[in-house]
Amino acid sequence: MAIPETLNTPHLDLRHFTIEDAPEVAELAGDVQIAAGVLNIPHPYTIDDAKEWIEQHPYLRERGEAYIFAVTERGSTRVAGATSLRVDAEHAHAELGYWIGRPFQGRGYATEAAGSILELGFLGLGLHRIYARHLAWNDRSGRVLIRIGMTHEGVMRGHASKWGIFHDVHWYSIMDDEYFSLIMPGAESHEQHFRDGM
């Protein structure tokens, strides 16, 4: 099944990044408060870092390893954040990730973007399980994951190191049958909508 290039929510358009987005990505992801919560974002984060990251996306997408989208407000091309699904096809599962730049926080964008990625994973890719994680101090991210229907699975103590400090990591997941029970009774219409290209 072809994966749509754009995913739409009530307030957002999720699209592929382009190299022209690099300055905005560097500005938002270069914020120390954003970098602190995302393990693979260094600080400082430069335009060259952003370009290198964006240039990887087509390769990852073509191989079916990752689907990475720019989060933009409806009717705007300006980047507000990013969301992704990193896929392990052998086990039919994937990790959901996201970040929203500080100027765009508090508007529900993380919840909308993450919910759209669940739809991509279960209806578009036919995954069995989608999981996500956050550092223990990042309660806001945990609330997003609960809102989109994920279950808190547990805590791995001292699991991740960020800037030389070890952090507990909270893990969440949702299974395909749980997702479909959430979108019922409209599951069939949602699936057909996705197959028609959203």
Asked if residues 116 and 82 have their Cβ atoms less than 8 Å apart, the reply is no
Quickly state the pLDDT bin for 183 (edges 50, 70, 90).
Answer: confident
Asked if residue 59 is part of any domain, the answer here is yes
The parent domain of residue 49 ranges over 6-195
- The sign of the dihedral angle between the CA atoms of 51, 78, 140, 85 is negative
pTM of the model: 0.90
Task: Determine, yes or no, domain membership for 71.
Answer: yes
**CATH code of the domain covering residue 10:** 3.40.630.30
Residue 16, domain member (yes or no): yes
Question: Does residue 111 fall inside a structural domain?
Answer: yes
For residue 30 the two structure tokens come to 């270069």
164 in any annotated domain = yes
Is 1 a domain residue?
no
* Per-residue pLDDT reduced to its tens digit, 110-149: 999 999 999 999 999 999 999 999 999 999 999 999 999 9
Instruction: Output the six-digit token pair for 181.
Output: 């029970």
